[in-house]
Amino acid sequence: MYIVFFDFETGGVEEKHPNIQLAAIAVDEQWNELASFEAKIRFNEADADPVALQMNHYDPAIWKEKAEPAAQVVAHFDQFLQTYKSVKMVSKRTGNPYAVARLAGHNAVTFDMPRLKRMYGERFLPAHPVPLCTYQLCLWYFQGKDKQPQDLRLPTLAKWFGIPHDAHDALADVRASMMVARAILQPKAPPKSS
């Protein structure tokens, strides 16, 4: 069983704001990082909140050189997911079996997955429609505990669990969300990241 942790960095938190970066890491059942994915997404700077761009390490020169159109990023992400399709499904239409990837992330249910679905548009997303969410996991984990962090933001949780974290870079956020999940689900696991 594989899990693909993923994260978007965006030009603001509203639905109208563009996606600017997508990253993912695939891990196995022992939390070993198997592979990573990172892409900068071409966008119209006028559609973004300048404060969000600054917070998310946006550098126009880097995006000019490395950013790809959203459709191209989708194609590359699709290829990345192919290796990690481990959730067995059955087609309602044909009854045929197939497999999809299991996605996970912090706030993945309410923020990242809706954005990913919009980016895919009509194209088939080879992932289970409901991602695992470290935010939801933390809600359960800290429920009723006397000691708990001041909030459930990813930087706060990383600090709580002693995880090094450079906030607001998609690849760093992906690794931090994986480590938060591992800290809760397998607390004695030594850190393994490539």
Residues whose CB is less than 8 angstroms from the CB of residue 32 and which lie 6 or more positions away in sequence, other chains included: 192
State how far the Cα of 98 lies from the Cα of 186, in Å rounded to an integer: 29
Sign of CA dihedral 155, 173, 179, 184: positive
Give the CATH H-level superfamily of domain 3-133: Ribonuclease H-like superfamily/Ribonuclease H (3.30.420.10)
Report pLDDT digits (tens) over 12-64: 999 999 999 999 999 999 999 999 999 999 999 999 999 999 898 899 999 99
Sign of CA dihedral 126, 28, 152, 50: negative
State how far the Cα of 26 lies from the Cα of 13, in Å rounded to an integer: 25
Report pLDDT digits (tens) over 138-154: 999 999 999 999 999 99
Q: Any idea where the domains of the chain sit in the sequence?
A: 3-133
Q: Which pTM was predicted?
A: 0.92
